[in-house]
Structure 1
Amino acid sequence: MKILYICTHNRCRSILSEAITNHFASDHIQAKSAGSQPAGEVHPLSLRYLNEAGISTEGLQSQSWDDFEYFKPDVVITVCDSAAGEACPVWFGQSIKMHWGLADPSKLEGTEEEIAAAFRECIKEIKHRVSHLQGIAEQALSQSQLKHALSELIN
Structure 2
Amino acid sequence: MRILILCTGNSCRSQMAHGFMQSFDSRLDVFSAGTEPASRVNPQAVEVMAEAGIDIGSHTLHHVSEHLGGRWDYVITVCGGANENCPVFTGRVMHRLHIGFDDPSRAMGTPEFIAGEFRRVRDEIKTRFYRLYAEEIKPQLP
TM-score (norm 2): 0.88
The offset of 1:91, in angstroms, is 2.3
Q: Which residue of 1 aligns with 2:20?
A: 20
Q: Separation in 2 of the partners of 1:92 and 1:16? A: 25
Answer whether contact 1:28 1:137 (CA < 8 A) is retained: no
Structure with higher strand content:
2
Q: Which residue of 2 aligns with 1:114?
A: 113
Q: Which residue of 2 aligns with 1:48?
A: 47
1:139 partner amino acid = P
Name the % identity: 32
TM-score (norm 1): 0.81
Q: Separation in 2 of the partners of 1:12 and 1:100? A: 14
The offset of 1:26, in angstroms, is 2.1
The offset of 1:93, in angstroms, is 5.0
Specify the SS of the correspondent of 1:59: coil
1:115 partner amino acid = I
Answer whether contact 1:105 1:118 (CA < 8 A) is retained: yes
Structure with higher helix content:
1
Q: Which residue of 2 aligns with 1:153?
A: none
- Structure 1, unmatched stretches of 5+, are 142-155
Q: Separation in 1 of the partners of 2:80 and 2:130? A: 22
The offset of 1:118, in angstroms, is 0.7
1:132 partner amino acid = R
Q: Which residue of 2 aligns with 1:103?
A: 102
